[in-house]
Amino acid sequence: MIRPYRSVLYIPASRARALEKAKSLPVDAIIFDLEDAVAVEEKANARALLRDTLIEGGFGTRAQIVRINGIDTDWGADDLAMIASAKPQAILLPKVNSAQDIEALAALLDANPDTADTEIWAMMETPEGILNAAEIAAAPRMAGFVMGTNDLAKDLGARTREAMVTSLQICLLAARAHGLACIDGVYNAFRDEEGLAQECAQGRDFGFDGKTLIHPAQVATANAVFAPSPEEIDLARRQIEAFEQAEARGEGVAVVDGKIVENLHVATARATLAKADAIATSEAA
Ligand code: COA
Ligand code: MG
């Protein structure tokens, strides 16, 4: 069963109202943040609030991902202890530079039966991390990449999205080579719907599964752009049908709308239908 990750909303773990609100938002996944969106003096309260909130539940089928502070920071150990009691689906490790960072976290999770099944996701947001994307993607427990475009822009001295395209695509290559989910970075101007829609469309066309979001106003756009459109679903059905008819005639190629359809196009068509089904299933739940 594939899981949709069209809309992946950050929520600062310190914000009780936002945590509550998320239970009714149509997001595919939530990143509960203990790292940069939480001030130093709020870290302990945020961690306690998040533990209680996750144990109480109410988030339905939404994927639950907790962004912890780095394990070598003052808060890392306490964040991990919280993970063991609240048991989210995944830990999101910030500022990952190498496979060793993941191996170190995986060893800590291995040592505790309460975290036997916890996935690891990596923030890809440092130049060193991007250069090591392939080994990071291959590391134990890895299930997803999240692009940290704000940190990356800072470290690169990049001022435009265009300047980060190489980094985005390196991470996509590594994620696809190792079967990980790959989620695009945030769009900071959260009231600019048109700009968000354009950036979502670009990310979708690159191959991202979805977009990280910072505000509820961004959810509908990401859900719409990253879902297969009715036209795409219709085309996928027609391609599969035409190819099956060609096969029945002993032929390996069909033609639909003036374009050839081979085995590989049928695989893409089936993936499109599977994604549409997964979205429909999660929306019905
Ligand atoms: N997740 C869930 N709910 C959120 C939310 C979020 N990320 N951001 C805002 N909300 C809620 C608010 O609690 C408020 O709910 P209410 O109507 O029940 O009171 C409602 O949405 C409207 O919020 P609004 O007043 O428009 O925004 P704000 O001024 O309170 O907050 C931000 C704006 C940008 C500070 C806030 O959206 C935020 O903190 N986003 C996340 C930032 C983050 O996590 N960064 C780290 C990764 S880049
Ligand atoms: Mg960051």
Q: Mean per-residue pLDDT for 238-260? A: 97
- Characterize the bridge pairing of strands 259-261 and 142-147: unpaired
Starting from the CA of residue 31, give the closest ligand. 1
pLDDT at site 197: 98
Q: Tell me if 229 sits within 8 A of 6, measured CB to CB.
A: no
pLDDT score of 1: 62
Q: In the predicted model, what is the mean pLDDT of the chain?
A: 97
pLDDT, tens digit, 9 for 90 and up, residues 58-74: 999 999 999 999 999 99
pLDDT tens, position by position, 141-181: 999 999 999 999 999 999 999 999 999 999 999 999 999 99
The residues placing their C-beta within 5 Å of ligand 2, an ion, are: 125, 148, 151
Alpha-carbon distance of 4 to 184, in angstroms, equals: 14
* pLDDT tens-digit map of 272-284: 999 999 999 988 8
Burial class (CB in 10 A: 0-12, 13-18, 19+), 111: exposed
Q: Which ligand is nearest to the CA of 129?
A: 2
Residues with CB under 6 A from ligand 1: 9-12, 17-18, 21-22, 33, 36-37, 186, 214-216
* 113-125 pLDDT, tens digit each: 999 999 999 999 9
Provide the CA 48 distance to its chain's centre, in angstroms. Answer: 25
User: Cα of 28 to ligand 2 centre, how many Å?
Assistant: 21
Q: How far is the CA of 144 from the centre of ligand 1 (A)?
A: 24
Residue range 98-104: mean pLDDT, rounded = 98
User: Residues 24-40: what's their mean pLDDT?
Assistant: 98
Q: What is the pLDDT of residue 283?
A: 87
**Among protein residues, the one whose CA lies closest to atom 32 of ligand 1:** 215
Determine the distance separating the centroid of ligand 1 and the alpha carbon of 58, expressed in angstroms: 19
Residue nearest atom 5 of ligand 1, based on CA coordinates: 215
Helices (H), the chain: 16-22, 43-56, 76-86, 99-110, 127-131, 133-137, 149-156, 165-177, 193-206, 219-226, 230-248, 263-284
Give the closest ligand to the alpha carbon of residue 185: 1
CA–centroid distance, 94 to ligand 2, in Å, is 6
d(CA 92, CA 228): 27
d(CA 166, CA 134): 14
